């Protein structure tokens, strides 16, 4: 079972007084001469420092220099997206362009290091061996010491004119294999390089291996968890922590490597202590889950002493401008835009209609979601005929629905705030004039309570975009079973525990080599996430947005189930119901005329 260790309440505790480094200071330190950029062995404490030499004073002009100046200035100004985009572009170009000035390569390497892109920094140094003068050869050795086994495997296949530099990578691979317990392959590689020209330090490592002085480490993973454990938000924090514990125990069962959770009480921390991040880094954690609040996440991301410390918040509603390797899996703006885009794009590609409206709660969330949907609808060329807002605490919506009916929309977005509101709204949409309109509905319509209790007459052919996938998701079923077995009670109706579970799974499943965990490699591995199914959805890393994103899936309600949408069936149903309504209106009009003694 995953072990949980709690940090004491004293602010700034640990082997040193907390000092908060922002990414700006990290770059400044790189530029001036020193910082910590590489990882260490599991449970090895503070990372091995990379001592950077003073910057090259060679003056070089040209487009490459100008691009580097843009990237460096952007990073120092906190515009991380621009800095990363420019450095990525230069990295890709220079990986195929020999003869780049050593001074330029070194400046690019500095930019890559503040992003914890140590693997790409090593690649640049190998491809441009002219940059490996003096102290830079020692820097290369320290950098490869922070790469994972799979990253080292990839680097040894690089083409380089510097055999000694490649030997440094190969020897580190031998050492890493020995530490991870793969002695057979380590022996095979060591034999290949035993007679080659190596630096003295690399030859010493081979001798240490040959004489058995590199024992295998005991596999084990330390993960930091920053959640409120006291105060008003303690119930939320406890549920998130319980979800993370389940994920850790699941990983232990599946992989056979122990996980230790080192917790920090978010309620007892502040900006000045970096929400415990420096203390957690000193404990040798490979990554941190939390904090749960957006402001705390921002402060925690800025407090990292190593750019390779991965932070994943399960619940923060905002995650922009945090710098590399700090994310939320529940960012509100991204969630709302993803759902609106999915529904709008589906409507534009699947249904021929012109007039669209919205029905939403009269609160900030309702107006925001309606406005985002409207922007996508109008961009697709539809006519936005209007929206009507209702009071969330109302129980009858006849007036608002009647007003909406007068707008005569072909399709309508219906937003509810929770399953209970769906159960109130759905029958009234049916009875107050909008029965046959194509309805795009919020995700609350897919809640198990709604699917179980709502009559299909009121829900069939409604189309939704699932951002939080429970129904038909085997990982959700696994989570529920694990929760019931561990805690002997029902899963909370809110999402906190499930989001903690998902953050834990995403982090742990990103670890490239469980037998030898190097922190920076975990952060880099997250950027390779692709279509990973968890309890609440399916996740990938979006390289354009530089965020962990959920798949948004279009589904249709039919017979209290979620199925793939059938546009032809939806249109056929809509036309049939609207024709029935028109016939009913005609018959009622005739009946009224007959009652008054008038000929129809």
pLDDT mean over 357-375: 92
Q: Average of pLDDT values for 159-174? A: 83
Domains 221-329+474-521 and 334-470+555-583 share a fold: yes
59 φ/ψ angles, rounded to the nearest 5 degrees: -90, 120
Whole-number pLDDT of residue 2: 65
pLDDT at 22: 43
Q: Give dist(CA 2, CA 171) in Å, integer.
A: 34
What the block records as the tokens of 216 is: 């295998």
pLDDT tens-digit series, residues 334-354: 888 888 889 988 988 888 878
Instruction: Look over the chain and give the mean of its residue pLDDT values, rounded to a whole number.
Output: 85
**Res 317 pLDDT > 50:** yes
Single out the residue of 246, 254, 325, 236 nearest to residue 287, CA to CA: 325
Q: In this structure, are residues 292 and 314 in contact, taking their beta carbons and an 8 Å threshold?
A: yes
pLDDT (tens digit, 9 = 90+) per residue, 39-91? 334 443 334 444 444 444 444 456 778 899 999 999 988 888 899 999 999 99
- pLDDT at position 584: 77
Q: Which residues of 460-484 are buried (b: 16+ CB within 10 A; e: fewer)?
A: bbbbbbbbbbbeebebbeebeebbe
Q: Which CATH class is domain 334-470+555-583?
A: alpha beta
The strand pair at 50-51 and 561-563 is best described as unpaired
User: 549 pLDDT exceeds 60?
Assistant: yes
Is the Cβ–Cβ distance between 241 and 265 less than 8 Å?
Answer: no
**Domain boundaries along the sequence of the chain:** 18-210, 221-329+474-521, 334-470+555-583
pLDDT at 505: 94
- The fraction of the chain above a pLDDT of 90, given in percent, is 46
Phi, psi angle pair for 402, to nearest 5°: -65, -40
Flag whether pLDDT at 483 surpasses 60.
yes
Q: Which of 342, 270, 263 is nearest to 303 (CA)?
A: 270
Q: What pLDDT is stored for residue 599 in this prediction?
A: 63
Name the band, by pLDDT with cuts 50, 70 and 90, for residue 263.
very high
Predicted local confidence at residue 161, as pLDDT: 67
Pseudo-torsion of CA 355, 360, 363, 367, nearest 10°?
A: -20
Rounded CA separation 600/596 (Å): 10
Q: How confident is the model at residue 518 (pLDDT cuts 50, 70, 90)?
A: confident
Q: What mean pLDDT is predicted for residues 25-34?
A: 44
Q: Which pLDDT belongs to residue 59?
A: 43
Which one-letter DSSP state was computed for residue 463? E
Q: Is-contact 303 288, C-beta < 8 A?
A: no
The pLDDT assigned to 55 comes to 47
**pLDDT-based confidence at residue 189 (cuts at 50, 70, 90):** confident
Please check the confidence at residue 424 and state whether its pLDDT lies above 90. yes
DSSP β-bridge partners for residue 548: 541
CB of 86 within 8 A of CB of 66?
Answer: no
Class level of CATH domain 221-329+474-521: alpha beta
């Amino acid at each position: 079972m995953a072990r949980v260790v709690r940090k004491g309440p004293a602010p700034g505790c640990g082997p040193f007084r907390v000092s908060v480094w922002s990414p700006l200071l990290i770059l400044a330190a790189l530029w001036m001469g020193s910082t910590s950029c590489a990882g260490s062995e599991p449970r090895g404490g503070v990372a091995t420092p990379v001592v950077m030499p003073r910057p090259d004073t060679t003056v070089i002009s040209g487009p490459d220099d100008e691009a580097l100046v843009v990237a460096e200035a952007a990073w120092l100004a906190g515009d991380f997206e621009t800095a990363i985009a420019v450095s990525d572009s230069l990295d890709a170009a220079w990986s195929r362009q020999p003869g780049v000035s050593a001074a330029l390569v070194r400046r690019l390497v500095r930019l890559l290091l503040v992003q914890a892109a140590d693997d790409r920094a090593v690649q640049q140094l190998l491809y441009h061996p002219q940059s490996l003068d003096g102290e830079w050869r020692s820097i290369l050795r320290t950098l490869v010491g922070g790469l994972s086994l799979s990253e080292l495997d990839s680097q040894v296949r690089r083409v380089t004119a510097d055999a000694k530099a490649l030997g440094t990578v190969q020897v580190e691979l031998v050492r890493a294999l020995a530490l991870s317990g793969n002695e057979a392959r380590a022996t095979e590689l060591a034999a290949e390089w035993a007679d080659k020209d190596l630096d003295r330090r690399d030859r010493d490592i081979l001798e240490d291996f040959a004489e058995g002085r590199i024992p295998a480490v005991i596999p084990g993973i330390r993960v930091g968890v920053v959640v409120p454990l006291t105060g008003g938000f303690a119930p939320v924090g406890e549920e998130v922590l319980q979800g993370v514990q389940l994920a850790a125990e699941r990983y232990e069962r599946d992989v056979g490597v122990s996980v230790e959770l080192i917790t920090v009480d978010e309620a007892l921390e502040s900006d000045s202590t970096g929400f415990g991040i420096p203390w957690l880094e000193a404990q040798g954690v490979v990554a941190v889950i939390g904090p749960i609040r957006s402001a705390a996440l921002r402060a925690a991301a800025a407090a990292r002493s190593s750019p390779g410390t991965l932070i994943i918040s399960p619940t923060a509603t905002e995650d922009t401008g945090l710098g590399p390797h700090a994310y939320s899996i529940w960012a509100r703006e991204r969630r709302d835009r993803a759902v609106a885009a999915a529904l709008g794009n589906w409507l534009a590609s699947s249904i021929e209609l012109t007039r669209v409206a919205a029905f939403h709660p009269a609160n900030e969330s309702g107006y925001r979601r309606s406005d985002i949907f409207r922007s996508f609808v109008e961009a697709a060329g539809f006519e936005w005929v209007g929206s009507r807002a209702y009071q969330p605490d109302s129980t009858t919506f006849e007036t608002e629905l009647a007003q909406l009916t007068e707008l005569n929309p072909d399709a309508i977005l219906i937003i509810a705030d929770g399953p209970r509101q769906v159960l109130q709204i759905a029958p009234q949409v049916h009875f107050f004039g909008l029965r046959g309109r194509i309805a795009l509905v919020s995700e609350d319509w897919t809640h198990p309570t709604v699917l179980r209790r709502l009559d299909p007459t009121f829900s069939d052919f409604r189309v939704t975009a699932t951002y939080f996938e429970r129904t038909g998701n085997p990982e959700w079923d696994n989570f529920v079973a694990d929760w019931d077995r561990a805690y002997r009670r029902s899963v909370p109706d809110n999402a906190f525990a499930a989001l903690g579970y998902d953050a834990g799974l995403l982090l742990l499943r990103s670890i490239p080599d469980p037998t030898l965990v190097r922190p920076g490699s975990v952060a880099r591995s997250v950027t390779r996430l692709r279509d990973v199914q968890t309890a609440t959805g399916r996740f990938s890393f979006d390289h354009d947005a530089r965020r962990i994103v959920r798949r948004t899936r279009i589904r249709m309600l039919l017979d209290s189930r979620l199925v793939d949408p059938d546009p032809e069936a939806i249109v056929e149903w809509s036309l049939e119901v609207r024709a029935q309504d028109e016939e009913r209106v005609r018959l009622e009009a005739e009946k009224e005329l007959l009652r008054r003694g008038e000929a129809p």
